[in-house]
Chains A and B, each alone.
Chain A
Amino acid sequence: MTTADRPPLTKKDFKTDQEVRWCPGCGDYSILNSVQSAFAKLGKQLHETVVISGIGCSSRFPYYMETFGFHTIHGRAPAIATGVKVSNPALDVWVVTGDGDAMSIGGNHLIHALRRNVGLRILMFNNRIYGLTKGQYSPTSPQGKVTKSSPLGSIDQPFAPLALALGASSTFVARSIDIMGPHLEGTVMKADEHDGTAFVEIYQNCNIFNDGAFKGFTDKEVRSERVMELQHGEPLLFGANKDKGIRFDAGFRPEIVTGDELGTAYVWDETAESIAPAMALATMNEAEFPVPIGVFRRAAKPRFEAGINDQVATAQQNKQESLRDLLYSGEVWTVD
């Protein structure tokens, strides 16, 4: 469709008349802002965009986007979105979910959407806590997390969401952080360009039930030392002066290199055939190593909705049958 008949949309055009009802100070506000900004820059049309969510704080997102929006049920957004995308592949379908919605109650739908490579853009806000139900540990909470439902500390081992996505054969895996607006906006735009399922984990601060969960690496004072931005084709470097790097040993264990060894830092290839380097980064110990953000993996595979609709189109080309012929097929007989 052409957009010549009206001026390009601005970020403001993507805002709805609904009052935004997240807690003041919630990381979701900045994510909303970055997504609206990215959508405007991408030249999206309101009516061609669908935002589908499950349940949780993050899943209120569709109400604040002036697009088609479907706030569904807990964990099922990827399955509903699959039905939407298969039924109308021309639509631009976004799934907004949280760590509980996507990794816990909806884990099954998430991994199957990823392995099928349905053309969905999945934004998972990870605050490592259940917010809407007022503060229980989530499948991404660190072990030992003290919450209302784990007064002595949680026993669960947490998921590494990007490792889960990589393991489920996701063709696009990326991470960003709520308060890093330009990076987040850029990551959303890269996800949009991807041909297939794009999975983006967004670290999001819940200032009520898990305040400061990411403070250790997102605070301004430490961020450049603790966060490593992945750049396709560039070595893995971090630090204010880019004076530290990451390389892998023969067993794909990461190690930090400095000084003379900086030149041995691993050169990042987000399109690498092997998922081993991306896995190594996705499972890197957060306390010991910098936290990688950016695109972990980008692979080209056929899209599910194209395959399923192509089979139908081919069948329709190869065989024409009227409804009458269908009903009257097989062994029929006539009684006079």
Chain B
Amino acid sequence: MDTATPSKNDSAKPVQELEQVIIRFAGDSGDGMQLTGDQFTRTTALMGNDIATFPDFPAEIRAPAGTLPGVSAFQLRFSSFDIHTPGDAPDVLVAMNPAALKAHIGELKKDGVLLLNTASFKANDLKKAKYENDPREDGSLAGFRVIEVDLEARTKEALANSALDNRSKMRCKNMYALGILYWMFHRDMEPTMKAIAAKFAKKPDVVDANLAAMKAGHAYAETTEIFQSAYRVPAAKMRPGTYRNIMGNQGLCLGLVAASKRAGLPLFLGSYPITPASDILHQLSSYKHHGVVTFQAEDEIAAVASAIGASYSGKLGITSTSGPGMALKAEAIGLAVMAELPLVILNVQRAGPSTGMPTKTQQADLLQAMYGRNGESPVCVLAASMPSDAFETAYEAVRIAVKYMIPVIVLSDGYIANGSEPWLLPDVDALPAIDVQFAPETSADTKFMPYERNQETLARPWARPGTKGLVHRIGGLEKRDVTGNIDYAPENHQHMIDTRQQKVQNIAKDLPPTETIGERAGDLLVLGWGSTRGAITASVQKLQADGHKVSAAFLRYLNPLPNDLEDLMRGFKKVVLPEMNKGQLAMMLRSRYLIDVVSYSQVNGQPFKSHDVLAYLEQTLAAMKEGN
């Protein structure tokens, strides 16, 4: 909140204009922080700001109330210009209890606004958060603009006439806080009023109480002297078009449904619940009216196996999971490679190894996607890089899978899955065609050749059971090309290994040129894949503005890699690759091209902060200048 221009509005208090604000809501898992953040986000998107969000919550559904492990947070950044990340340090921190304060105060900007719910600062609350002294009294909050509000007492007053019991009334205190923030940042309460009315349509008392609490919070901020001024962030100049707010998992689902419709292939999802991918199963389950069949399988293996069965039958077989589930699916993916069937596997990556940190983000499953199967088992690997990029990535995965008769792994991650941003909606009629051709019926006296390939793509025919004249046998055993009969001959195995590899490589002929931010040659190329895109973009744009010859490029296609990538990399003196893993893509690029790609690694369960990336790149440039 560093750019302030005083202006006037109809409110009695002055209004300052800002270019951007970062707000973080933090409270107990049960305090409704995700809902509060979500409402602020929707409202703000509708008001025309650019916005990016980052929910950060514990894996426990309800950790013990008031404790540090139970803290759930939601950060959002909105602006009057184009932004790429939910920001680093917040300008405003809403802390619903001491634990939330303790977990997040370290990141609040100096002079930032700290809204504290004083109802939760009793001795016992402080003890649960492991505070020895009340932080409000020991001077540790000096340097912040602290606003203390007893949200419970205020909410209770506001709901004096409500028929709800006390416990239910207390659950409205997040709405009271939201009302205060809506006043502070000049947000329209109307969209939230509508959303709450729809969400609790069957519970009018709950609707009334939530709205009353929000309005009371708004009025409180307007009238009390604690709040000196309100702020306004003007709408961003965004590309013309129609927008909606989108989260990564939603984008993947919509991309798959769109591809299913354009291809004329009914979608079959086999899935087993797993964080952070379960929302894909939930959302696709609500698209039955688009012909989507969802099958909640008995385990991860059955999930992918059923999807393979669906593909074999001529449907669009999809499975969705996260890292541990990918490990279980490996053998079945190998079968799809061998049987040369289309299949889309969505891996919403999370922090591993093993169960790891289910709600935290990481991008360390790249080598697993590339090589995590027995034998030489090449598949196509794509990565989504932003919530708004998920739609196109999923759509592209389907296009490739059916064109080349091949499994395609789509890597997303927890940060993309649950983060949200405005999405410029595509022109439905302009979506690329997905041409599906099933092997046609034949007369019974011609023997069908299941591995007779398309000479351009090397794809085999898609022969649906039920089609006359096409009976044939396939399976996981090595087979003779063309006939599909079991064959262990050395020259045939070599030929089939080479063919399956070449089929993946052929996809590269089909790819668009790799786009860059900046020139295609210069001092430093920053490469990225997946959710590091936002932090890299912000850093590179800053360096470019400072006059450095720095460019960035983001890889959606990880296997095969784009044909123009090598030349692009060779156009720069140095290539840096930030990754939320121990340098997996860097390793792939170094071994493939013998180019000294420098890995910048962070694996702490959190997305990169743009200031960290910027600092690293500045250091790198300085070192280059000194000739090191």
Q: Which residues of A contact B (CB under 8 A)?
A: 6, 16, 18, 46-48, 50, 52-53, 55, 62-63, 65-74, 76, 79-88, 90-91, 108-109, 112, 308-309, 311-312, 315-316, 318-324, 326-336
* Chain A residues in 8 Å Cβ range of B486: 18, 63
- CB of B466 within 8 A of CB of A83, answer no
- Given known contacts A69-B472, A76-B332, A335-B238, is B310 in contact with A84 (CB within 8 Å)? yes
- CB of B243 within 8 A of CB of A332, answer yes
* Chain B residues in 8 Å Cβ range of A108: 298-299, 302
* Chain B residues in 8 Å Cβ range of A329: 244
19 A-B pairs in the complex with CB atoms less than 8 angstroms apart: A6-B444, A16-B473, A46-B444, A47-B465, A50-B465, A69-B472, A73-B332, A73-B335, A73-B476, A76-B301, A109-B298, A112-B298, A312-B293, A316-B291, A320-B289, A321-B289, A331-B191, A332-B244, A334-B243
* Chain B residues in 8 Å Cβ range of A50: 465
Q: Which of A55, A66, A86, A90 contacts B295 (CB 8 A)?
A: A86
CB distance from A334 to the nearest CB of B (A): 5
A49 to B426: give the CA distance in the assembly, Å: 42
- CB of B310 within 8 A of CB of A319, answer no
- CB of B472 within 8 A of CB of A82, answer no
Closest chain B residue to A51, Cβ basis: B473
* Chain B residues in 8 Å Cβ range of A315: 288-289
Q: Which of B45, B244, B290, B312 contacts A84 (CB 8 A)?
A: B312
* Chain B residues in 8 Å Cβ range of A66: 471
A49 to B485: give the CA distance in the assembly, Å: 19
CB distance from B2 to the nearest CB of A (A): 26
CB distance from B299 to the nearest CB of A (A): 6
Closest chain B residue to A65, Cβ basis: B473
- CB of A82 within 8 A of CB of B306, answer yes
- CB of A46 within 8 A of CB of B313, answer no
* Residue in A76, A85, A309, A328 with the greatest tally of chain B CB atoms within 10 Å: A76
- CB of B46 within 8 A of CB of A79, answer no
State whether the Cβ of B226 lies closer than 8 Å to any Cβ in chain A.
Answer: no
Pick from B145-153, B254-262, B513-521 the stretch touching chain A: B254-262
- Given known contacts A82-B309, A312-B291, A328-B244, is B302 in contact with A87 (CB within 8 Å)? no
State whether the Cβ of B58 lies closer than 8 Å to any Cβ in chain A.
Answer: no
Q: Which of A18, A80, A322, A323 contacts B309 (CB 8 A)?
A: A80
Q: Which of B48, B302, B469, B475 contacts A333 (CB 8 A)?
A: B48
Closest chain A residue to B468, Cβ basis: A47
Interface string of B452-490 (1 = CB under 8 A from A): 000000000000111111111111110000000110000
Other 10 A-B pairs with CB < 8 A, given A68-B465, A329-B244: A16-B473, A18-B486, A47-B467, A50-B465, A68-B473, A69-B472, A73-B334, A83-B270, A88-B313, A332-B425
- Given known contacts A82-B302, A83-B295, is B241 in contact with A335 (CB within 8 Å)? yes
- CB of B289 within 8 A of CB of A334, answer no
State whether the Cβ of B292 lies closer than 8 Å to any Cβ in chain A.
Answer: yes
Closest chain B residue to A314, Cβ basis: B288
* Chain B residues in 8 Å Cβ range of A46: 444, 471
* Chain B residues in 8 Å Cβ range of A327: 244, 254, 258, 425-426, 428
- CB of A83 within 8 A of CB of B268, answer yes
Closest chain A residue to B441, Cβ basis: A47
- Given known contacts A312-B288, A330-B244, is B473 in contact with A87 (CB within 8 Å)? no
* Chain A residues in 8 Å Cβ range of B331: 73-74
A331 to B258: give the CA distance in the assembly, Å: 19
A6 to B476: give the CA distance in the assembly, Å: 34
Among residues 281 to 334 in chain B, which have CB atoms less than 8 Å away from a CB atom of chain A? 287-293, 295, 297-299, 301-302, 305-315, 317, 331-332, 334
* Chain B residues in 8 Å Cβ range of A316: 288-291
- Given known contacts A86-B295, A312-B293, A332-B242, is B305 in contact with A79 (CB within 8 Å)? yes
CB distance from A27 to the nearest CB of B (A): 22
Among residues 489 to 532 in chain B, which have CB atoms less than 8 Å away from a CB atom of chain A? none
* Chain A residues in 8 Å Cβ range of B257: 323, 326
* Chain A residues in 8 Å Cβ range of B291: 312, 316
A328 to B241: give the CA distance in the assembly, Å: 12
* Chain A residues in 8 Å Cβ range of B425: 327-328, 332
CB distance from B97 to the nearest CB of A (A): 31
Pick the 3 closest A-B CB pairs, nearest first: A83-B309, A71-B475, A83-B306
- CB of B240 within 8 A of CB of A91, answer no
- CB of A309 within 8 A of CB of B293, answer yes
State whether the Cβ of B239 lies closer than 8 Å to any Cβ in chain A.
Answer: yes
* Residue in B243, B289, B464 with the greatest tally of chain A CB atoms within 10 Å: B289
State whether the Cβ of B245 lies closer than 8 Å to any Cβ in chain A.
Answer: yes
A239 to B145: give the CA distance in the assembly, Å: 95
* Residue in B42, B305, B469 with the greatest tally of chain A CB atoms within 10 Å: B305
- CB of A87 within 8 A of CB of B315, answer yes
A248 to B309: give the CA distance in the assembly, Å: 44
- CB of A80 within 8 A of CB of B312, answer yes
- CB of B306 within 8 A of CB of A79, answer yes
- CB of A79 within 8 A of CB of B309, answer yes
- CB of A82 within 8 A of CB of B295, answer yes
State whether the Cβ of B339 lies closer than 8 Å to any Cβ in chain A.
Answer: yes
- CB of A84 within 8 A of CB of B242, answer no
- CB of B305 within 8 A of CB of A83, answer yes
Closest chain A residue to B447, Cβ basis: A17
- CB of A47 within 8 A of CB of B313, answer no
* Chain A residues in 8 Å Cβ range of B477: 71
* Chain A residues in 8 Å Cβ range of B240: 335-336
A83 to B377: give the CA distance in the assembly, Å: 23
CB distance from B78 to the nearest CB of A (A): 14
- CB of A308 within 8 A of CB of B293, answer yes
Q: Which of B241, B292, B317, B466 contacts A90 (CB 8 A)?
A: B466
- Given known contacts A84-B313, A91-B466, A316-B291, is B471 in contact with A68 (CB within 8 Å)? yes
Closest chain B residue to A105, Cβ basis: B301
Closest chain A residue to B298, Cβ basis: A112
A83 to B468: give the CA distance in the assembly, Å: 21
Closest chain B residue to A50, Cβ basis: B465
- Given known contacts A316-B291, A328-B242, A333-B243, is B466 in contact with A88 (CB within 8 Å)? yes
* Chain A residues in 8 Å Cβ range of B298: 79, 108-109, 112
A86 to B302: give the CA distance in the assembly, Å: 13
- CB of A70 within 8 A of CB of B243, answer no
Closest chain A residue to B244, Cβ basis: A332
A74 to B301: give the CA distance in the assembly, Å: 11
* Chain A residues in 8 Å Cβ range of B293: 86-87, 308-309, 312
